[in-house]
């Protein structure tokens, strides 16, 4: 399941960038580890479909050798899923460009799905299942 969100991460990072443009980019501090934390609420009755699409994302992650986020499926509460993703380069990973992992993952997804259009459609289909999501940047002392 961890690899499941390797594919989804570029989507969430783009959501972070577009949803909170007023928030400043944080300075890099080598004494802390940076992460994004995303919670996802799927539309009613779509969680199983989301899991199937996520398996496709996981397969692309494995093919790309991409790093993986940590995920948890909730058993209670408003949200269905939480994803934590380490920002290897700190907040600079949120500067609007895909990381090398993200680019290699995308190339693997395109190869797996057969075309850019099919890979984009897979992402669009997944996004249609999401009722709401919230992403925040967090830090933890090393």
Q: Are the C-beta atoms of 24 and 78 separated by less than 8 Å?
A: no
Closest CA to 6 of 89, 81, 84: 84
Give Cβ neighbours of residue 121 (< 8 Å, ≥ 6 apart). 113
| Domain locations in the chain as residue ranges | 4-141
List, for residues 72-102, the tens digit of each pLDDT value: 999 999 999 999 988 888 887 777 556 667 7
Tokens of 33: 């580890």
What confidence tier does 63 reach under pLDDT thresholds 50, 70, 90? very high
pLDDT at position 27: 57
Closest CA to 92 of 18, 36, 19: 36
- The whole-model pTM stands at 0.73
What CATH class has 4-141? alpha beta
Q: Name which residue leads in pLDDT, 108 or 92.
A: 108
Q: What is the DSSP letter of 68?
A: -
């Amino acid at each position: 399941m961890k690899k499941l969100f390797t594919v989804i991460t570029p989507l969430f990072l783009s959501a972070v960038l577009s949803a909170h443009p007023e928030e400043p980019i944080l300075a890099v501090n080598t004494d802390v580890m940076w992460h994004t934390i995303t919670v996802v609420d799927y539309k009613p009755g779509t969680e199983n479909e989301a899991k199937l699409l996520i398996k496709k994302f996981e397969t692309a992650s494995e093919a790309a050798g991409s790093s993986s986020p940590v995920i948890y499926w909730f058993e209670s509460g408003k949200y269905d899923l939480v994803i934590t993703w380490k920002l290897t380069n700190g907040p600079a990973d949120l500067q609007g460009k895909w990381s090398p992992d993200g680019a290699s993952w995308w190339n693997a997804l395109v190869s797996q799905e057969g075309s850019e259009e099919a890979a984009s459609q897979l992402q669009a289909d997944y996004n249609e299942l999401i009722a709401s999501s919230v992403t925040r940047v967090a830090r933890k002392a090393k």
